[in-house]
Each structure stands twice: as structure tokens, then as C-alpha cells.
């Protein structure tokens, strides 16, 4: 009876390990695929493009100050 329980637990353990390894492999392949990258970029750009005009309107000044002049009396090299 103990032998049978150990065999069943061994089979269950093997199935769990192979499923974790397989899931990790296919998850890695999906994350590194071009399809995932393009879908992610589309999602990010759609969220950022809505925020970008508002940020630029608030962040840019209406007018800049005068340019910085060169001080007189600098020593000649």
C-alpha cells in the first residue's frame, strides 16, 4: 500500500514539474515574441497619446526670457 502511494505521488510530482517547466518555456516564448511587443507598444502608445497634449500645453512657457550675454572684460588667452 505504501509503495502504491509513493508511486502516485511520484507521478503527480513529475506532472507538476513538467507543467511548470512547460508553462515557463511557453510564457517566455510569448513574452519575447514580436506579436507581444507590438500589442504592448500599441497599448502603451494609446494611453500615452491621450496624456501627451495636456502635458505639453501646461509645461511649455508662453515666452522665453532674453538670451544670456557674454560678460565684458574676459581675459584673453
Taking only Cα atoms into account, the Rg of the chain, rounded to an integer number of angstroms, comes to 31
73: left (phi over 0), alpha (psi -120 to 50) or beta: left
Does the structure show a pLDDT above 70 at 55? no
At 44 the pLDDT is 87
Interval 2-36: pLDDT, tens = 999 999 999 999 999 999 999 999 999 999 999 99
Amino acid at each position: 500500500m505504501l509503495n502504491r502511494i509513493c508511486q502516485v505521488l511520484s507521478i503527480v510530482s513529475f506532472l507538476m514539474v513538467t507543467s511548470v517547466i512547460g508553462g515557463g518555456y511557453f510564457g517566455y516564448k510569448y513574452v519575447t515574441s514580436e506579436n507581444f511587443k507590438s500589442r504592448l507598444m500599441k497599448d502603451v502608445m494609446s494611453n500615452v497619446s491621450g496624456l501627451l497634449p495636456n502635458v505639453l500645453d501646461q509645461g511649455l512657457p508662453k515666452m522665453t526670457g532674453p538670451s544670456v550675454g557674454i560678460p565684458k572684460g574676459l581675459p584673453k588667452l
